[in-house]
Structure 1
Amino acid sequence: MASSSIVEIPANQQIPIDLTMTKRIPGVTRGKLRVTDAHGNLVYQLDGRSALSSPYKYKKILVDSFGNPQISIVQNKDGGAWQGFRGDSCEKKDLIFRLERTVHSRTRTELEVLLVGQNWGDTPAMFKAQGSPFHRSCTVYKGDSIVAQTSAMYKLGKSIVGRHKFRVTIYPGNDHALVVAVLVIFFGGS
């Protein structure tokens, strides 16, 4: 008697998650960013707002599929460092991370992300993002471990979609909203 073999993934087994980031959508304002899962379901969306009446140049809010604010992404008026806050807040007590570009050239960009209030022993918790925004390639690291990687969508060496759409793989044990916020900044504030 032939037995049916069903592969079950244990509940405690964590696997990488692929999300698709789409920068421009027909019928939606330019610069709007949507993040969807493998089935096309909305996971996050970027709500861009100008913050001219505050000490920040820009304020963008990453919201979940229900419209709940997850992370407010702001850039200082001097065009320098970026910061991420919990929800729709810009108060110091809600600060999650500070981010600065350490390398910014036509072919390569590097970011350092300092997580506020978290330490690994004697050193502050830090992420690094390295890659090329033009090629939609970025790898996010925590120490020597890869947190997430992006890739353009190719089929047999040819791009199957325009530069406005790319895939991000987020590895287990990482905060998805935080990774998406870092990628938003990496790819030019979208």
Structure 2
Amino acid sequence: MENPVWDDGIPMISVVGDNFCVPYGLEMVVKKKIHGFKKVHYDVYDTSGNLLLQVDGNVWKLQKKRVMRDPSGLPLLTMRCKSFKWKKEWTVSPGESPEENVLFKVEESNPLRLKTRLDVFLEDKKSDKKNHSDFHVNGRFNSLSFKVYRGKSAIAQVNHHYSWGSFCKGKENFRVKVHPEVDYSFIMALLVILDEVDN
């Protein structure tokens, strides 16, 4: 099924839901906090300070899992890491549904590369997934930024505002710029997964 379009004819990139696509460029502020080295929590705001999304999960569990919620606490996505793999692989399911109910998968392209590349495969895609990813993420947190691409076109950019002082306090901040008509909850899920892969 083709993605719906806005009145100006530009197709939306809707993965989680159309309600997370807005017809203007969106800038988000992401605040990450590790609580007592046990739980990790992300709060996502717009530039006016309105809470858009929340993500939480345990830090040290062998089977990593992150749950994304809307401002009221309703689960939107569950992200799970496949353990004991040479290349890290994450499955993302809608709500809190079982791992078998997959919305999209994220795979590390090559863990030996200097820069991380993640390949993103939508589950409803019918073509050869091994050779053609739907999206890819290029960058690394220690280079302080990364971009999300659809084909050769960047659809979002993340800048990591890093300092040793904030890191030692278990706090990190990010600025995320999402292009118009792009699902910002999908972009946030990729940020969380890249953060986990690089850390």
Return the TM-score normalized by structure 2: 0.72
Moved more, 56-65 or 14-23: 56-65
Q: Provide the C-alpha distance between the structure 2 equivalents of 1:74 and 1:26, rounded to a whole number of angstroms.
A: 20
- Structure-2 separation of matches of 1:134 and 1:15: 29
* Aligned counterpart in structure 1 of residue 48 of structure 2, from 24, 34, 39: 39
Structure-2 separation of matches of 1:173 and 1:185: 22
Is 2:119–2:135's contact at 8 Å kept on the other side of the alignment? Answer: yes
Mapped partners of 1:17, 1:109: distance in 2: 25
| Cα distance, 1:51–1:166 mapped onto 2, change above 3 Å | closer
- Which residue identity is paired with 1:117? D
Higher helix share: 2
Residue 95 of structure 1 corresponds to which residue in structure 2? 102
What residue in structure 2 maps to residue 73 of structure 1?
Answer: 79
Shift, 1:146, TM fit: 1.3
What is the match of residue 27 of structure 2? Answer: 18
* d(CA) in 2 for partners of 1:145, 1:106: 22
Q: Separation in 1 of the partners of 2:193 and 2:77?
A: 12
Work out whether residues 21 and 167 of structure 1, in 8 Å CA contact, stay in contact via their aligned partners in 2: yes
Alpha-carbon displacement from aligned partner over 1:63-101 (angstroms, at most 9, x marks no partner): 111111111000112243111000011242x31111111
Question: TM-score, structure 1 length as denominator?
Answer: 0.75
Q: Distance in 2 between matches of 1:40 and 1:27?
A: 25
SS of 1:57's partner is coil
Moved more, 111-120 or 34-43: 111-120
Measured in 1, the distance between the counterparts of 2:177 and 2:126 equals 25
Q: Is the 8 A contact 1:85 1:91 kept in 2?
A: yes
Q: 1:167 to 1:105 in 2, by over 3 A?
A: farther
Q: Which is richer in strand? A: 1
CA separation in 1, counterparts of 2:52 and 2:37?
17
Q: Is the 8 A contact 1:101 1:111 kept in 2?
A: yes
Give me the whole-angstrom Cα distance separating, in 1, the residues matched to 2:56 and 2:187: 17
Report the Cα offset of residue 103 of structure 1: 3.4
- Alignment correspondent of 2:146: 138
Conserved in 1, the CA contact under 8 Å of 2:40 and 2:58?
A: no
| Secondary structure class of the residue paired with 1:15 | coil
Aligned equivalent of 1:111, options 108, 114, 118: 118
Q: Percent identity?
A: 27
Name the CA distance, whole Å, in 1 between partners of 2:33 and 2:113. 22
Structure 1 gap segments, 5+ residues each: 1-10
Q: How many residues align?
A: 171
Q: Which amino acid aligns with 1:182?
A: L
> Which runs of 4 or more aligned residues in structure 1 lie more than 6 Å from their structure 2 counterparts after TM superposition?
25-29
RMSD of aligned C-alpha atoms?
3.4
Determine if contact 1:84/1:95 at 8 Å carries over to the other structure.
yes
